[in-house]
Each structure stands twice: as C-alpha cells, then as structure tokens.
Amino acid sequence: MRGLNTRGVGGHAPLEEQQQNLMALQDSSQTEDYIKALHENTLSFYQKWVNSRLDKSKLEEELTPQINCRVCWESDEHETFLTLCRCKGTSAHIHRSCLEKWLAKSDTSHCEICGYSYNIIRTPRYNVRESIPIWLKHGAHRDLLFDAISFFAFAPLVVVSTYLGVVVSLHHFDLGDSVEVDMPRSHMVTAGVLGLMLTLDYSFMLWLFTRVRHHRSRWYLWWRRHSVVKVVVPLQTSYGEMVEDGNKEGCTLK
C-alpha cells in the first residue's frame, strides 16, 4: 500500500509543476499586457497634451493680430516700423521706405488718415531742362500730340483769316468815305468783319492758353512725383515727447 501511495504522489508531481508553470506564464503575460496598456495610455496622454498645447498656441497666434506695414502689407523682418503720425492700432505702423515712396507718388506731406504733417525734404530728381524730354519720352501724351497737330493746323488759318479781315475792314472803311458807297452800310460791314476776326483770334488764344496750362500742370505733377523724398524722423525723448529736426511745417523743396 505504501508503495502504491508513493507512486501515486510521485505520479501527480509533474502535473502540479505544469500548473505552476502555466500560472507563471499567465502572470507574465498579464504583466506584459499591463505594461503595454500602461505604455499606450501614457503615449495617448502625452499626445493629447501636446495637441492641446499646439491648439492653444495656434489659437493664440490666430487671436493675436499680426502687425504689417499699411502700404506694402509686409512684416518688420527686413525693415523696422515707424510710428510717426497720430494713427492708432495696426494702421500706425509703416516702413520708412514705403512712407517716402508713398509721399513722393502722392505728392503730399501729410497722413491721409489722421492728417498729421510729416517733416520731409523733397529733392527733384531732374532739373527743369532735363525733365521735359524725359517726360515726353516716358509719359503717355497722346493728347499733347493731338494738341500740337491742331495748333500747327489752325494757327496758319487764324493768321490768314486775321490778315484778310484787316484788309477787308480797311477797304470798306476807305470806301465809306467815298460818295458812291453808303457810309453807314460800309461801317457796319467793317464792324462785322472786325468782330468776327476778334472772336476767332480770342477763341484760338483762349484754347491755346488752356491747353498749355493743362500740359504744364501735368508736367509739374510728374516732376514732383519723381522727386526723392526723405522723412526727417523725430527724436524720442525720455519723457516720450517727439522732438522734430528742421521745419515743422512739413515740406521743404530744394
């Protein structure tokens, strides 16, 4: 009997060992699953945290207004901004080069928004003698060509008409003194011819003066807009007051 019991116990020993090994394997697999789940949860948490920070920073960038130059709409990466006028907010920032170009092209010396008068020095790029050929060469002046053709076409006609009017008037005036021709009628013809002649001459001279004045104004505006404008930047004192160098009236033309 003892031999049977001993063998019986010895026969169950490998089964218990197998069960223990199975439990150990299950415990190790559960531990690995737990570690894997913990790792995944940790990664998910950090990913959500990073995404939230990115969304927050993106939202802050969207809510924060970007400061750009009000002329070229570029940032201050390559050139710093000036805030000279009384404008507020984003419209107060402008590049110095953009401001000088705008003042030159617009032929003004003040801000178009707040009316602040800049202290500038405007230097013509060309003198009067050099500017006229350049203006005629680079400008679109079809009306000037038309006016020149009209002048050379009508000026001889006006001169000839004036000469004939004077001759006819003198002739009828001389005939009025004779007995054969009625004096009042001769004087009426002379007055009519002189009136037509003066009207024609006055109309031609008025047209010529108007067109010359028009083209002179266009040339003068082009001449000023092609000037070199320099903005005198005020000095910032310790109390925040603006101290300007030069004339405070705004514009100086050399």
Q: Using 50, 70 and 90 to split pLDDT, how confident is the model at 202? A: very high
Q: What number of other Cβ atoms are within 10 A of residue 222's Cβ?
A: 16
Burial class (CB in 10 A: 0-12, 13-18, 19+), 103: buried
What is the model's pTM? 0.55
Q: Mind giving me the DSSP string for 174-243?
A: HHHTSSSS-HHHHHHHHHHHHHHHHHHHHHHHHHHHHHHHHHHHHHHHHHHHTEEEEE-PPEE-TTS-EE
pLDDT digits (tens, 9 = 90+) for 210-253: 999 999 998 888 888 888 888 888 765 333 344 444 344 444 44
Does position 99 have pLDDT exceeding 60, yes or no? yes
Mean pLDDT of 23-45: 62
Task: Give the pLDDT band (50/70/90) at residue 205.
Answer: very high
Domain residue extents for the chain? 1-64, 107-253
pLDDT of 60 reads 52
Q: Which residues pair with 123 in a beta bridge?
A: 228
pLDDT in tens, 42-88: 667 667 766 666 555 554 555 456 778 888 877 767 778 888 888 88
Burial of 246: CB neighbours in 10 Å, binned 0-12, 13-18, 19+? exposed
How far is Cα 39 from Cα 36, in angstroms, rounded to an integer? 5
Q: Give the number of other CB atoms < 10 A from CB of residue 241.
A: 9
Q: How many CB atoms lie within 10 A of CB 78?
A: 8
CA distance 117 to 109: 6
The pLDDT tens digits of the residues spanning 148-188 come to: 999 999 999 999 988 888 888 777 666 555 545 556 676 77
Contact of 111 with 118, CB cutoff 8 Å: yes
- Rounded CA-CA distance 18/23 in Å is 9
Averaged over 24-42, what is the pLDDT? 61
Q: What is residue 129's predicted lDDT score, i.e. its pLDDT?
A: 86
Largest distance between two CA atoms of the chain: 190
Q: What tokens were used for 192?
A: 């009519």
